[in-house]
Structure formats: C-alpha cells, structure tokens
Amino acid sequence: MRLGIRLKLFLLSVGLILVTVASFDVWMSRAIAQYVTVNIRDDLYVRAAVAAREASQLHAPFGDVAAWDGRADELAKTLAARVTFIAPDGSVMGDSVVDRDGLAKMENHRDRPEVVEALRTGRGSDERVSATLQIRWMYVAVPFESATAAAIARVARPLAEVDAAVTSARRALYVGSAFAFFLAILVAAGLSQRLTSTVRDLTSVARRMAQGELDVRTRRSGSDEFGALGETLDALATGLSQTLGELRAERDLQIRILQNMQEGVLVLDDDDHVVLMNPTLCAMLLLAGADFAGKHFLEVVRISELQSLFAKARKSTDGSSAEIETGGIKPRRLLVHASALKDKEGGLLAVFVDVTDVRRLESLRRDFVANVSHELRTPVAAVLSATETLRDGGAIANPVAAERFLAIIDRNAQRLQALIEDLLELSRLDAREYHVKKERVDGAALLNIVTGLFRERAEKKNIKLCAKLPVPAPTIESDQRALEQILGNLVDNAIKYCQAGASVTIRLEEDENRRLRFLVEDTGPGIEARHLPRLFERFYRVDAGRSREVGGTGLGLSIVRHLGEAIGAEITVRSELGVGSTFIVTMPCGDPK
Ligand code: ADP
C-alpha cells in the first residue's frame, strides 16, 4: 500500500507524540507516586509530632491503658489518622483503632522498624500489612519524653488512602496528557495538511510544466526549502520556454525553407523509410495527403529506378545522380541527386529538381535550329542552283530564261530576307530586348494605317478589306508599333490564305467584360480544329507548301503571340473549315478609352 506524504508525516508525528507522551507519563507517574508518598509521610510526621506533644503532657503512668488509649482515640479524631502510643518496653499503651481488649492481645512493638528507627534517629517510618488488622498501613513514629523514659507516638494512615491519592494524581496526569496528545495531533494534522498542500501545489505546477504549459509559474519565494524549490521550478520553466522558443523558431525557419524550396526533398532512414518529404516533392509526384513519414519510400514514390540510385548513393562519398521519368497523367522529368547523410548512419538525402521545362526547351531549341537550317537551306539551294544554271548553262545569253532565273533568285532572296527579319524579331522578343512603350493609340488612326498597308495587295487579289469601329473611336493605352505589327501579321495572313472574292475585316469593339479587342475576320479557307492548339508555335504550318508558295515563313503567328505577351494582350483564334477564321486580340483591362 502506498501512503501519501501527508499520511506519512501525520503518522510520524503521531508516533513521536505518542512515544513522548508515554515516556513522559511513565516518568511522571513514578515521580508523582514518590512525591505524593513523601508528602503524605511528611504530613504524618507533623501529625505524629502533634500527637507526641499531646502525649508528653499526659503525665499518666505507662500502665494506665485507659488514659493512653483514651487520649489516642481523641487525638485520632483531631488528626484524622490512626494514633498508637507505645511504651518504652514496646508494649502498646493505646491505639485508636484497637479496643482495650484488643490491646492486651497486641504483639510487643519494640522491634517494629519505624519504632526502632525513631528511637535511633528521632523519627521513623514504615509501610506494611498490620499484623493486628491485616490491612496495609503507612506508619510514622516519633519518640516523646514521658515520666522516666522515652515512649513512642505513632501515627498511621491506610496505604489504600495513599494509593488513592497517587491514583487521583496520576489520573489528572493522564487526562492532561490525553488532552495534550489530542492537541498535538490536531497541530500535527494541520501542519502536515499545510505542508502537503504546498507540496501538492508545487507538484501540480511541475506536472503542468512537464505537459508543456511553460507559461505557468509557482510564484513561490521565501527562504524555506519550498520557496527555493518554487524559485528553481520557475527558473527552469523560464529557461525551458526560452530554449523551446528558440528551437521552435529554428524549426519553423527550416520548415518554411523546406516548404518554399523549388526542389523536392526526401530524407530516408537506414531502412528506406520516409523521414521527411517536402510539399514540393509531393506536388512533383502528384501525391495527395501529407503524412508519408514511416512508410517505405517505394510505397509512396513508386519509382523503382530510385532503389538502385539510392543504393549507389549510400556506397559513394559524393552521392549519385540520375534523371527519372514519372508516369501518370502529367509525366515529368526529375533530376535526382542522392547522398548519404554523414551524421546519421544509413540515412539518405535525395533532392529532386524538375527539369521537364528545361528538357522541353532544349528539345524546342534543337527543333528550332533544325527548322531554321531547313528553312534557310531551301531558298539558298534555289538561289545557288539558279545562279549555277545561269552561269554554266548559258541561260544568261537567253533573255527569257535569264529573266526566269533572276525571278527565282529574287523570290528566294526575298524569302530569305523575310525569314531573317522574322528570326531577328523573334530573337529580340525572346531576349526581352523589345521595350514596350505606353502611349495613347488612336483606334481609328491605327486601323487606317493597317488597312492602308495592305489595301493595294488586297485589291490585287480581289479581296475586300475594311475596318469597322465604334464612333467615337476608342483610344488605347498601349504600344503602337506592337499593335501595328500584330494586326499587320494577322491581316497579312488573311490576305495570303484567302482566295479571290473573300473579304477581310478588322474590327475594334468592346467584349462582354468591357475590354477592348481587335478582331481580324476573313471568309477564307478556315483552319481544321486539330491545328488550332499548335498554330502559334514556331514554324508550325497547316500546309507547308501553300505557306511557302505565298511567301510565309511559319513565324508570323509566333511573333504575334510573343508581341501579345509583351503588351499584355491575349491572342485567340476561332476558325471553321470552309467558312473562315477570326483572330482575336483582347487588350488588358484598365485601358482608358
Ligand atoms: P506563315 O508564315 O506560314 O503564314 P504563320 O505563323 O503566320 O506562318 O501561320 C501559321 C499557319 O497558320 C500558316 O501556315 C497557315 O497555314 C495558317 N494560317 C494563318 N492564318 C490563316 C488564315 N487567316 N486562314 C487560314 N490559315 C491561316
């Protein structure tokens, strides 16, 4: 059974009090008995002295039993004790409790201890059972001078009376002790209660601190041990909360860094179980949920190539890298660098970098270079072959043939020029060298310029070109040159691909969101829906032969898209095969009109 500190303290105090009171009582009861006995004896001596004085004035002969016994009876009443007179020869002359007949039968008292002592020292006492009366007495005797010799006056009280006095004194002692005992118990209970309530308070505060409530304080001070303990606990909590705060700030910073990193981070233990995985990696691997800690990495990542990579990284001092492909609906290429954790036996850190866009751009660049070379090669080859034929074949002497070859050279040189101009424009846009201006562009003037540029060509092809805009015409806050080029390219395409008799309309209007937009509509051949998503890519042509035939470079719409991005405009296309196409340039909102 476990006892509480309060009960232990209480029981200890009760035990101590009990032992103290018991030993005190044993000692006191003996002392009281001795004190009461001595007191009674001294009192008897006083009475014996009175009896002796009275007896010395009696002047009766020792044989006059009637006189002595009578005086003994009188004195016994006055002194409230048994009174005995003993003659010098030891015979009893008178006794207050023995009648006269009895006196004759009484033994000689010469050798009674109190008588012997009184005759020797002047006073004597004894306690014993009376031979005559068979009860216990306390006797005291003193000698007195009478007539010729010294006789003895003896006074006695039954020892039962002495015992009763001792018992009553002891009872008073016991009652007092019991009272003191209970008082002491009450004080001990109160003290142990106070002591334990302090300990309980301190324990409860310490427990709350242990549970993480580091802002609680004992608020105890003072010079005693509890004050010191309280102060120490408070100091401990202050220190702990400060350290914890610093640790938390450090951890939060690490979490923030991990959460905001562009790279995915994976930490594994020696058993390949996930210790940490940052949100970027979860997003890269399209993992829903957040708590993957404790799971085997293959259960979470499901890319088996990683297993061999990680095994290699654990063996190598510089770590190991590899590029992996994730499956699923959105495949990505990830560059993974894994290295063993130096301070953690068997631990591994893997950093994932998403290189999908980089690899796509690399492939785009490769394709672009291939496309450019291809585009350049054809006109250059045409020019070379024409000049060669002119020079070597003697065509130069034939004006008709010479004219034809010169026309070929001219057309291909123009194509090369257009291609180089478009490439330069694109590279400027790519390098962000195009500085966008913000100016007030008059809508009517802008459409006038664009239609003016293409009117002649349109008329030549028998295409109806017109502009439609609200009155008064809106003003656009944008880059005039970019807008001219965007609309120019779109109108150029429309005229290029439309057959004779078609019409091309440039419209300026407000859309349902009150944003200004330009529409370049034609009633040309239209574009199949499957081409629309790739239409703005570099060198993408619906019909390459037709494009080259009409002098297209395959870069016009790509330049339109880049310029649109530069001025914040959105370029979209609607088209229906056999009906016509509409290219829409929606200006960013907030443009004043
Ligand atoms: P290109 O120099 O070949 O015209 P673009 O990038 O300007 O290159 O256009 C890409 C392709 O889109 C063209 O080859 C053409 O097939 C198609 N296209 C563009 N505009 C129109 C149009 N208005 N009508 C029909 N097809 C068009």
pLDDT digits (tens, 9 = 90+) for 159-192: 888 788 888 888 988 898 889 888 988 888 888 8
202 pLDDT band (50/70/90 cuts)? confident
Please report which confidence band the pLDDT of residue 585 belongs to, taking 50, 70 and 90 as the band edges: very high
Distance CA 71, CA 63 (A): 14
Collapsed DSSP state (helix, strand, coil) of residue 354: strand
Q: How far is the CA of 446 from the centre of ligand 1 (A)?
A: 23
Question: For a pLDDT cut of 90, what percent of the chain falls above it?
Answer: 48
Predicted local distance difference test score (pLDDT) of residue 224: 83
Does residue 147 or residue 256 have the better pLDDT? 256
CA distances from 427 to 376, 424, 553 (A): 16, 5, 15
Q: Is 581 in the pocket of ligand 1 (CB under 6 A)?
A: yes
Residue 32 pLDDT grade (very low, low, confident, very high; cuts 50, 70, 90):
confident
Residue 50 pLDDT greater than 50, yes or no: yes
Q: What does the mean pLDDT of the chain come to?
A: 89
| Ligand 1 pocket residue status of 192, Cβ below 6 Å | no
Q: What is the pTM of this model?
A: 0.53
CA 418–ligand 1 middle distance (angstroms): 15
Please state, in angstroms and rounded to a whole number, the distance separating the CA atoms of residues 308 and 305. Answer: 6
355 neighbors 323 (Cβ within 8 angstroms): yes
Quote the pLDDT of residue 147. Answer: 64
As given in the structure block, the two tokens for residue 471 are 């009155």
Please name the amino acid found at residue 359.
Answer: R
Closest protein CA for atom 8 of ligand 1? 554
The closest residue, in CA terms, to atom 19 on ligand 1 is 493
* Alpha carbon nearest to ligand 1 atom 7, residue: 556
- Please compute the mean of the pLDDT values over residues 421-432 and round it to a whole number: 87
Query: From atom 4 of ligand 1, which residue's Cα is the shortest distance away?
Result: 552
> Separation of 549 CA from ligand 1 center, angstroms?
12
pLDDT at 591: 44
Element (H, E) at 440: strand 439-442
Q: What pLDDT, on a 0 to 100 scale, did the predictor assign at position 11? A: 84
Q: What residues does 509 pair with on adjacent strands?
A: 517
524 lines ligand 1 (CB under 6 A): yes
pLDDT score, position 228: 87
493: Cβ below 6 Å to ligand 1?
yes
Distance 414 CA to ligand 1 centre (A): 18
Closest atom of ligand 1 relative to the 536 alpha carbon: 6
Atom of ligand 1 nearest to the CA of 524: 24
Q: Which residue has the higher pLDDT, 5 or 438?
A: 438
Q: Over 90: is that where the pLDDT of 509 sits?
A: yes
Whether pLDDT at 209 is above 90: no
- CA of 548, closest atom in ligand 1: 3
β-bridge pairing 464-468 and 503-510 = parallel
pLDDT > 70? residue 496: yes
| Nearest atom in ligand 1 to 522's CA | 23
pLDDT surpassing 70 at residue 381: yes
Neighbouring CB atoms inside 10 A of 340's CB total 20
From the CB of 497, is ligand 1 less than 6 Å away? Answer: yes
Q: Is the dihedral of CA 548, 554, 557, 562 positive or negative?
A: negative
pLDDT above 70 covers a percentage of the chain that reads 98
Q: How remote is the CA of residue 222 from the centroid of ligand 1, in Å?
A: 93
**503 strand-pairing partners:** 464
Residue 62 phi, psi (nearest 5): -65, -20
Give me ligand 1 centre to Cα 384, in Å. 28
Residue 592: predicted pLDDT = 45
**13-30 average pLDDT score:** 86
The rounded Å distance from CA 410 to ligand 1 centre is 23
Query: What's the gap in Å between 568 CA and the centre of ligand 1?
Result: 22
Q: CA-based Rg of the chain, rounded to a whole angstrom?
A: 66
Whole-number Å distance, alpha carbon 572 to ligand 1 midpoint, is 14
* Lookup: tokens for 350: 């893997």
* Cβ–ligand 1 contact at 580 (below 6 Å): no
Can you tell me which atom of ligand 1 is nearest the CA of 558? 6
Alpha-carbon distance values, 2 to 5, 6, 7, 440 (Å): 9, 12, 10, 92
Nearest-angstrom CA–CA distance, 90 and 131: 15
Cα(573) to centroid(ligand 1), Å: 11
Per-residue model confidence (pLDDT) at position 320: 93
- List phi, psi (to 5°) of 213: -85, 80
Residue with tokens 């409530």: 213
Residue with tokens 């609607």: 574
Q: Which residue's C-alpha comes closest to atom 22 of ligand 1? A: 494
**Predicted pLDDT at 2:** 60
Q: Any idea which of 471-480, 513-522, 539-548 has the lowest mean pLDDT?
A: 539-548
Q: 150 forms bridges with which residues in the sheet?
A: 145
Identity at 165, one-letter amino acid code: A
- Asked whether the predicted pLDDT for residue 454 surpasses 80, the reply is yes
